[in-house]
Amino acid sequence: MTIPAQRRTVSARHETWPLARPFRIARGAKSEARVIVVEIRQDGMRGRGECVPYARYGETTESVLADIARLAGAVEEGAGRHDLQGAGAARNAIDCALWDLEARLAGRTVWQSAGLREPSPLVTAWTISIDSPEAMMRAAADNRSRPLLKVKLDAECIMERMRAVRDGAPGARLVIDANEAWTMDQLLHIGDDLAGLGVEMIEQPLPADKDEALAGCRCPLVLCADESCHTAADVDRLAGRYDMVNIKLDKAGGLTGALALSHAARERGLRVMVGCMVSTSLAMAPAMLVADDADIVDLDGPLMLHVDREGGIRYDGSVMHPPHVSLWGGGEFARQWTPAAAL
């Protein structure tokens, strides 16, 4: 459906947000989050969306800004969310900005527009990044009261690190994210030992282009596709290899694609995890709508920042509360929130 354009404009900017501490995964370390914010304005209203260019998928800040610029003309001429093709970070920021704008113009919330139930507080995982076993044990101990810990690993010292984490947080639920770093032999060799530590799930153990080896694999743990899963079109291929898919709006192309992926996964009997890149609360807000009925929620990105965006989501420990509509998501007073004079 095409929406009539009435003084609609699209703009995008790059922002850098320092992290509270360095964050390391199997592919490397980072000390800041680099995000792109899209704003779409129409009739005195403003809709916003945030994305993270991700090098793993061939994206750079420059390439995503160029992609947004290519899509901007159609959006300014009235193209709606379902008129935009493709997935990825640029589509995510524009899609979420359109959801926000449409809700504000209509004077309702995004969850009402999408036919979803009203969002409620969610328990998110807390991520422990790769370090020495001793440092990871200290990190786990510092967060032992959190109900769910997600542990980043590479191919080195897997059991030493996981035993250290378990010693540091004996009562926490544990899941692992290997970020494509393992081999099939490693997975088969340590699966039972990890289960013995109470690990529940392993996210993307093998490289995405080698995960066909998982078909028929008898692993005692739930296997979750991340880098192997982007959109609903991937679900049929993954159903015989994984038990769960990790939905990220930057991969799926926004809230529209993420909701479609969640529905397709459930239809094929796959469990659902909702994750994020390291980014601000503006990126978490639409993801919370997908995460409302997820089996695992991993939306701790803002907790990794030195400071979050003003008006960001409130976290009480690991409990994240639905965002105020001044951040994202429309609402009853949307027409009073961003009057033309304030734009």
Q: Residue 300: name the closest of 6, 23, 10, 15 by CA.
A: 23
Phi, psi of 59 (to 5 degrees): -100, 145
Angle at Cα 299 formed by Cα 237 and Cα 60, nearest 5°? 70
Q: Find the distance separating the first CA and the last CA of the chain, reported in whole Å.
A: 27
Q: What number of residues does the chain have? A: 343
Burial degree of 113 (CB within 10 A; 0-12, 13-18, 19+): middle
Active site (annotated) includes residue 152:
yes
Find out whether 59 and 303 touch, Cβ atoms under 8 Å: no
Residue the block writes with tokens 């093709």: 85
> Alpha-carbon dihedral of residues 316, 198, 24, 225, nearest 10 degrees?
-100
**Residue 248 bears catalytic tag:** yes
Neighbours of 225 (CB within 10 A): 26
Structure-token pair, residue 227:
């880098």
Residue 277 region, left (φ>0) first, then alpha (ψ -120 to 50), else beta? beta
- The amino acid present at 300, given as its one-letter code, is D
Q: Choosing from 30, 150, 152, 251, which is the catalytic residue?
A: 152
> Could you say which of 30, 150, 210, 248 is catalytic?
248
Residue type, 60: T
Dihedral sign of CA atoms 234, 239, 240, 245 in order: positive
92: Cβ–Cβ under 8 A, 6 or more apart, which residues? Answer: 49, 51, 249, 250, 252, 253, 254, 257
Active site residues: 152, 248
